[in-house]
A and B are shown apart, each in its own frame.
Chain A
Amino acid sequence: GQQVMQIPQYQHVQEGEDFTTYCNSSTTLSNIQWYKQRPGGHPVFLIQLVKSGEVKKQKRLTFQFGEAKKNSSLHITATQTTDVGTYFCAGEGGSNYKLTFGKGTLLTVNP
């Protein structure tokens, strides 16, 4: 079945440093979604990418969808303590109309 792999599993940064998490799929994706889960909270939708090579920005967050639609990345510029949490990617690529989530990247930020 479809697999969505996410790296790294953990990332610890100093406040102000940049952060990137990567998502790779075993199949071509029709779309990719990103979610953030704060410690003790539930996943919250951030963004959806659907076009090959698409790049979207939300303030300090930059999301990219690969040209082949098999990978994606989330980059945070100048991390803040409010960025702490687990970032998940989720994609659909098997014509079964359900999302497969990556295992997430846990970001911790040292103030």
Chain B
Amino acid sequence: DVKVTQSSRYLVKRTGEKVFLECVQDMDHENMFWYRQDPGLGLRLIYFSYDVKMKEKGDIPEGYSVSREKKERFSLILESASTSQTSMYLCASSPRVLYEQYFGPGTRLTVT
């Protein structure tokens, strides 16, 4: 079974802090994704990566950056956390472009 793990299930940070969210997949998938999920807004794509050191902006990249130094690991960075970034963050991976996506358990981030 594909396993996608995320570093934390719950995280509380203060406004202005730099926040790192880590995601690791164990199936050698090429593509990895970061989404945020908010009530009534569904899943919105922040960034995705189709290869090591490659990244593409999604629909809402403002305030975020990403890093993919190794194939199995995709990090989401909030350079200066704001309360508007309080959300559920979901990481996903897929073997190829437009194939099924496998999601991690999510990180619920609260910024106070």
| A interface residues (Cβ-Cβ under 8 A, vs B) | 1, 6, 9, 30-31, 33, 35, 41-45, 48, 88, 90, 92, 97-104
Flag if B101 contacts A97 (CB, 8 Å). no
**Which residues of chain B are within 8 angstroms of A43 by Cβ–Cβ distance?**
43, 90, 92, 101, 103
When the two chains form their complex, are residues A103 and B98 in contact, meaning their CB atoms are under 8 A apart? Answer: no
Q: Could you name 30 residue pairs across A and B whose Cβ atoms are closer than 8 Å?
A: A9-B40, A30-B98, A33-B100, A33-B101, A35-B101, A41-B105, A42-B90, A42-B103, A43-B43, A43-B90, A43-B92, A43-B101, A43-B103, A44-B103, A45-B101, A48-B99, A48-B100, A88-B42, A92-B98, A97-B50, A98-B56, A99-B98, A100-B45, A100-B59, A101-B42, A101-B43, A101-B45, A103-B40, A103-B41, A103-B42
Tell me if B64 counts as interface (CB < 8 A to partner A): no
Q: Which residue of B lies closest to A42 (CB)?
A: B103
